[in-house]
Amino acid sequence: MTAAVTVAGQVRIDGRALFPPIRLQLAPGLWTALLGPSGVGKSTLLRLIAGLPIGGVFEGRVENRQPVALMAQDPGLLPWLTARQNAALGARLRGERPDAARLEAILHRTGLADHAGKLPAVLSGGQRQRVALARTLMEDRPVVLLDEPFAALDARMRMAMQDLAAAVLAGRSVLMVTHDPAEAARLADRIFLLTEDGLTEEPVPDTSPPRRAADPGAFACQAALLARMIEGVPG
């Protein structure tokens, strides 16, 4: 079993700490979900683990850093490349030939086969997000960081893409930021909630992910998470 990637410390933006010192450990080979209010620093934690610059000062360390694939909130597609070329971008940037069979299979499984020759400008928001997902699934990395990866998808497509990601990324250490407690309850082996008060680990269902949409344990987990997420909200 590979050592767990861990981010420990705190982040200051303009001198103000976003949250008290935390220690977030990814479950090796499993899915970890991270929820929390907008602006609390979830994407910043992903960028720290990816070794990318952040908008503030990090006081702490990242332990057991490993090669990552990052799917950022913004699909970040190159506008002059087709969906297929964008999906294969990682290999091209490394000067490698993309695995053509794998590329076509992933384009097919992300529902992009009929759109693979189109430029991002003529794709819908959900199609663009699926190109970014396809690009991430093409990468063969031990750690995969997903920032709200299914947020732009309709309910049916979202569930299909969740199942696809769970299958393709089996055995990877995945950290997924999401605002959707149902998504966390369906996909995660471990769930954390980050707030201005710190990081807490939340209970997960006792079944293995990906869970059925109607799984009673996932429903109960979703309800409990929602209650935790709106604690202190008036009304």
Ligand X SMILES: Nc1ncnc2c1ncn2[C@@H]1O[C@H](COP(=O)(O)OP(=O)(O)OP(=O)(O)O)[C@@H](O)[C@H]1O
Contact set with ligand X (CB under 6 A) = 13, 18, 36, 38-44, 55, 73
Please name which of 206, 227, 199 lies closest in space to residue 34, comparing C-alpha atoms.
199
- The Cα 204–Cα 220 span in angstroms is 9
Q: How far is the CB of 3 from ligand X (least distance, A)?
A: 25
Q: How far is the CB of 233 from ligand X (least distance, A)?
A: 16
Q: How far is the CB of 180 from ligand X (least distance, A)?
A: 11
Q: How far is the CB of 13 from ligand X (least distance, A)?
A: 5
Nearer to ligand X, 46 or 138 (CB): 46
Q: How far is the CB of 45 from ligand X (least distance, A)?
A: 7
Nearer to ligand X, 44 or 110 (CB): 44
Amino acid at 65: R
Nearer to ligand X, 44 or 85 (CB): 44
Q: How far is the CB of 110 from ligand X (least distance, A)?
A: 23
Nearer to ligand X, 18 or 88 (CB): 18
- The Cα 159–Cα 154 span in angstroms is 9
DSSP symbols for the chain: -PPPPEEEEEEEETTEESSS-EEEEPPTTSEEEEE--TTSSHHHHHHHHHT---SSEEEEEEES---EEEE-SS----TTS-HHHHHTHHHHHTT----HHHHHHHHHHTT-GGGTTS-GGGS-HHHHHHHHHHHHHH---SEEEEESTTTTS-HHHHHHHHHHHHHHTTTSEEEEE-S-HHHHHHH-SEEEEEETTEEEEE---SSPSSPPTT-HHHHHHHHHHHHHHTTT---
Nearer to ligand X, 41 or 209 (CB): 41
Nearer to ligand X, 50 or 119 (CB): 50
